[in-house]
Amino acid sequence: MSSDCNFVYTLPEYVLDRTVIINGNHEHRVSGFKLAKASDYFKRQLIELRRGELEKSRIRARSLCDLQIEPLHVNYDDLIGFEMMLSFTHCSEEARCDLTKSLNSKQLVSILKAGTHFEVPDFVEYFIDAMKQKLTTQNVWDYWTALEPISDIAPDLTNFSRNFLLKHFLETCSSDEFLLQTADKLKLLLRDDALNASNELELFRQLERWVAVDPIKRSAHFGGLLACLRLGRLTAAELDEIKASIYVSENQQDCSRILSIAQSIVDSNTTGVNPSAQHDGIALDEGHAYSGCVLYKNRIYIIGGYISSGPTQMLKVLELATGTWRYLSPMHEKRNYICACLLDNAIYALGGHNGRHRLNTVERYDPEQNNWTFVSQMRQVRSDAGADSLNGKIYVCGGFDGHHFYDSVECYDPKVDQWTLLAPMQNIRSGVSVIGFNNCLYAIGGNDGLQRLRTVERYDPETNQWQTMPSMIRQRSNFCIVAMDDSIYVMGGWSDETNSTIALVEKWVPGMQNSWEQTKELYLPASANCCCGIKGLDVIKNFL
């Protein structure tokens, strides 16, 4: 490191053949070759400087050996950004990595400006990647606030920080930087359809925290902020809590109309009538039950199941881009009480009931070729089982063979086209939902032949062992399951506790929560249903 300011270099002294003078009074010895290679700006400057040196040498009628190397003068008002750029072009990869360790939002803005001005794209990209790695829920507000004014220089990075905010919004609210934001900036984010917040009541509580920092000035913005929340997602109890807020009382004129509209939506949700939630344009042409459901490349595939004429071998696909259904190549066998999953760009249909017999056969569908082929049969006949893929293999759990309910589990390896029996579950389970999540397999609920279950167990492929997990709130079988972000959701099903189909939805965060929690119910009770999780606002915005 030189004694002048913050210029870091790892090159030997003898290659530093040029002097750069910044703003007339700050100089560094640099490598002209390194600068010219990294920057088109400096390449042009150094070529022009060399032409001048050659011309002066010619006038003096001297040889190139007598060439007088002149300093390169640069005027630039941000010395930090300039010296970071010089350091990047003059040091090793290890030293470059050290430069990123103390990176903050102010330095990043200086770097982006300097890199853009002096045309050093590798420098800009290197620190953009470093910033993305350093971004957390505690520093994202600082970065986003700093980047917004220079969004024209780094639009992708500004959008990256904004999207990070939207994805982790509630977590970022614990940062002190959240409390420093303006009302206009908060409204901008709260109105964004990409805002990911699982609980609008928690959002409301964070807004109360924000107002409490300066109630006299900020209370006037409360009604406008409240209008940005998706209040229709609230339960009746949650809406009552919001109505009781002191800030609502102080801003009745701004809040009353908003809360009145929210109340009507919440009431309609409670009665199960919600016209705004209807989307008949994508309804199936007939009812399906006990079908399989798989998401693949923005398409939802419905596999087999039971329709008005009985068990079916049909395969239908919903094109999310257009909202239209198509029939595809049917399976070789009719399959009711089917389980299905995706593995390595192929859809597998496993077991089921064809109207006469329960099956152990398995078919694999190639979406690109639109054809089905049989693979090795399961070791046991299974209908009403649960299945999912995990780490390159398919796991099938439980089920019913027409006489016995199963606790057995088997695993399919597509590399050798072979099924292997694994350690059985701790409970017999038919009508069970199975999901692979965080390198483990979860078997949830079901029917043991005597009653529906609320119990949950987890399988570890490394140890071939099952472990008891927190039980659901409600007993249920033949329900649908999905994992979104860090949570597992279970929806609907048949429950002995009510002796009926239920609409109850529960959520659990494995490793973080010791119990399940109830969330917003389905609009209608549903059993023998299937579902899949869809990510990406661009895919689903037409259905919102």
The span from the first CA to the last CA of the chain, in angstroms, equals 57
CA distance 332 to 374: 8
β-strand partners of 289 = 306
Helix (H) or strand (E) holding 198: none
Per-residue b or e along 369-402, where b marks 16 or more CB atoms closer than 10 Å to that residue's CB: eeebeebeebebbbbbbbbbbbeebbbbbbbbbe
Within 67-104, residue ranges assigned H as helices are 79-89, 93-101
Q: Closest Cα to residue 9, out of 37, 28, 36, 33?
A: 28
Reported in sequence order, the residue ranges of 391-538 that DSSP labels E, i.e. its strands, are: 393-397, 409-413, 418-422, 433-437, 440-444, 456-460, 465-469, 480-484, 487-491, 494-495, 500-501, 505-508, 517-519
- pLDDT of amino acid 275: 44
How far is residue 284 CA from its own chain's centroid? 28
Per-residue pLDDT at 68? 79
Q: Is the whole model's pTM more than 0.75, yes or no?
A: no
- What average pLDDT values come out for the chain (544 residues) when binned by 10 residues? 67 90 90 94 92 79 67 91 93 90 89 94 93 92 92 90 93 93 94 86 94 92 91 85 90 88 79 49 78 94 94 94 91 97 97 96 97 97 97 97 96 97 98 97 97 97 97 97 93 94 95 90 91 77 65
**pLDDT for the residue 1:** 42
Structural domain spans, the chain: 13-103, 197-277, 280-543
CA angle, 505 then 386 then 302, to 5°? 75
pLDDT of residue 60: 66
Q: So what's the pLDDT on residue 282?
A: 66
State residue 342's pLDDT score.
97
* Per-residue model confidence (pLDDT) at position 3: 44
* pLDDT at position 63: 57
Evaluate whether 501 touches 459 at the Cβ level (below 8 Å).
no
What is the pLDDT, as a whole number, of residue 61?
A: 59
Q: Which fold has domain 280-543?
A: Neuraminidase (2.120.10)
- Continuous segment of H or E residues that includes residue 328: strand 324-328
CB count in 10 Å sphere of residue 423: 14
Nearest-10 crossing angle of helices 121-134, 155-167: 10
The count of C-alpha atoms lying within 13 angstroms of the C-alpha of 527, restricted to the half-sphere facing its C-beta, is: 17
Distance CA 388, CA 337 (A): 15
In sequence order, what are the residues at sequence separation of 6 or more whose Cβ sits closer than 8 angstroms to the Cβ of residue 163?
194
The radius of gyration of the chain's CA atoms, rounded to the nearest angstrom, is 32
What is the structure's pLDDT at 535? 77
pLDDT value at position 166? 92
